[in-house]
Amino acid sequence: MAAPAAPMDQAGPRRTSPLGFIAKGLQGLQRAILPMVAVAFGMRDESFGLLAALGLGLVIAAFAVGVRYLHWLRLTYTVGETDIRVESGLLSRAARSVPFERIQDVSLEQSLIPRLLGLVEVRFETGAGGKDELKLAYLTAAEGEELREVIRARKDGVELAARAETQASDEDAAEPAATRLYEMDTRRLVTFGLFEFSLAVVAVIGGALQQFGDFMPFNIWNVNEWQENFAGPFAWLMGMGPSVQAIGVVLALISLAVVGFGTGLVRTVLRDWGFTLDRTEKGFRRRRGLLTRTDVVMPAHRVQAVRINTGIIRKRFGWHGLSFVSLAQDSGASNHIVAPFAQMEELEPIVRSACFDTPPEDAGWQRGAVNYRLDKALLAAGVLVPASVITTVIAGPLLGILPIAGAAFIAMREAFLWRFERHCLTGRQLFIGSGWLAPELSIASRIKLQSVEISQNFIGRRRNYSTLQLGLAGGKMALRGIAPQRAYELRDAILASIAEKDFSELAG
């Protein structure tokens, strides 16, 4: 009988999975597609053109796999008592050590090819972002889960429990008991996708046509050439009359709408397929993704604030999204999306589970200074009114009205924003509401705010309003255009709450 594997924290230097270099090599084949297409296109008149393209692809694949193998052979990681150490490098060696206390979160990610091979990429988020983040690619799913638990146990100062000689084959049986807080079934996912209208694919196609326009039979950006084409083969369409042309425009708009809805749906399905949020002993565990599967656990005590937002259309149907402001990062942002598409009654249990509350019905909402909104409208008018005079002189009074209309619209917008931008301070939390068409509600714990700063510009000092900047460990919040007296009241109350709590006691 084979001896059981040594625990990860006692085994010394370890290598990643041997399948990892194969996965990286297969991923590198994506770079071979364009050269293969170029060779096939350039040698399309030769009988061996396709064979040459395939041969080039095989050479690139063999080179990629070989290089990845050498890199894999020279990469090791060691889990120590206080840090994790990664040594890598083919010609020149590099060693990096990250103390456990700097690691904010450990997440698992699976793109398509590693997922098919049962591999995961382990990401160690230190809060610095960019190149300072550490990752190991690739480990088996079991090794990745074990490494995450070992680091969390060491980080929290918990003694590791004795490991069994063999691991249970059932993954769910090995997981701690969890409470499901949120999940998206297929119907909700499709509904969410329809609200995610996007014309990104149109921009991509436009960019591709701009880049490879020389291969087109005519200049697609030249209006005269389009007219000449319609005057030739499509002359019959131009002669069908304005009614048929109007139908063509409508069909073109419908096609554009179909592309936009289809793009949003595909992007949503790829990103949020199988979206689940569980409350475990370790915190909030979120899993999502079709081709790239991510598994992130956010400790509850690291949730600094919550944000509830919605869109122009979706708010009419009661749909909202919920995100956590955390010390770690989620796709380059400090906001972890935990429920992207839900009704308010579904979000409230998640908010409570993170030790936050939604605003009470009798919340004492307060608005900012009227002068702040009035000054913003006047500043816009100060630019648009001279523009209106110049436009009237150059292009006539009809076009000169447009800047005036823009100034009037901005004034109306500022008046509406004054009504909808408000704040409320309770005994435990600060609520900040903003936005009219797409409102957003930010909820921050008073004791988790890191700093409070009051600032006034030249106009604010003259017009009696200020900005209250609130620092969070995972981001910033601000109250703009409030009266200085109110700003000082909020600052004193928040600083008193911060002083009452020792942050070393915040253990979730």
DSSP string across 389-450: HHHHHHH-HHHHHHHHHHHHHHHHHHHHHHHH-EEEE-SSEEEEEE-SSS-EEEEEEGGG--
Torsion region of 336: left, alpha or beta (phi above 0 gives left; psi -120 to 50 gives alpha): beta
Q: How far apart are CA 489 and CA 476, in angstroms?
A: 19
Considering only residues 354 and 392, tell me which one the structure prediction assigns the higher pLDDT: 354
* Per-residue model confidence as pLDDT tens digits over 116-158: 888 999 988 876 555 557 888 889 988 998 888 888 888 766 5
Q: How far apart are CA 82 and CA 151, in angstroms?
A: 9
Tokens representing 239 are 């002669």
Q: pLDDT grade, residue 165 (50/70/90)?
A: very low
What pLDDT is recorded for position 169?
42
What pLDDT is recorded for position 39?
73
Q: pLDDT grade, residue 422 (50/70/90)?
A: very high
* Per-residue model confidence as pLDDT tens digits over 186-238: 999 999 999 988 877 666 666 665 555 555 555 555 556 655 655 555 555 55
Q: How far apart are CA 502 and CA 163, in angstroms?
A: 35
Scan for tokens 């270099």, then name that residue: 21
Q: Which residues contact 61 (CB under 8 A, 6 or more apart)?
A: 25, 28, 29, 32
Instruction: Average the pLDDT over 325-354 and give the result.
Output: 83
Q: Which residues contact 320 (CB under 8 A, 6 or more apart)?
A: 308, 309, 310, 314, 342, 343, 344, 347
What is the dotted CATH code of the domain comprising 8-165? 2.30.29.30
Instruction: Average the pLDDT over 159-178 and give the result.
Output: 46
Tokens representing 484 are 């200085």
Tell me the residue type at 423: H
Q: pLDDT grade, residue 507 (50/70/90)?
A: very low
Closest by Cα among 134, 138, 142 to 97: 134
Name which of 52-66, 159-173, 486-500 the model is least confident about.
Answer: 159-173
Q: How far apart are CA 310 and CA 440, in angstroms?
A: 7
Domain 366-505 has CATH 2.30.29: yes
Alpha-helical segments (H) within 212-327:
223-231, 235-238, 242-272
- Say yes or no to pLDDT of 3 above 60: no
- Say yes or no to pLDDT of 164 above 50: no
Strand-strand pairing, 293-298 and 284-288? antiparallel
- Say yes or no to pLDDT of 6 above 60: no
What pLDDT is recorded for position 252?
78
Q: In which residue ranges of the chain is CATH 2.30.29.30 found? A: 8-165
What pLDDT is recorded for position 168?
42
Q: How far apart are CA 424 and CA 147, in angstroms?
A: 43
Cβ atoms of residues 323 and 305 within 8 Å = no
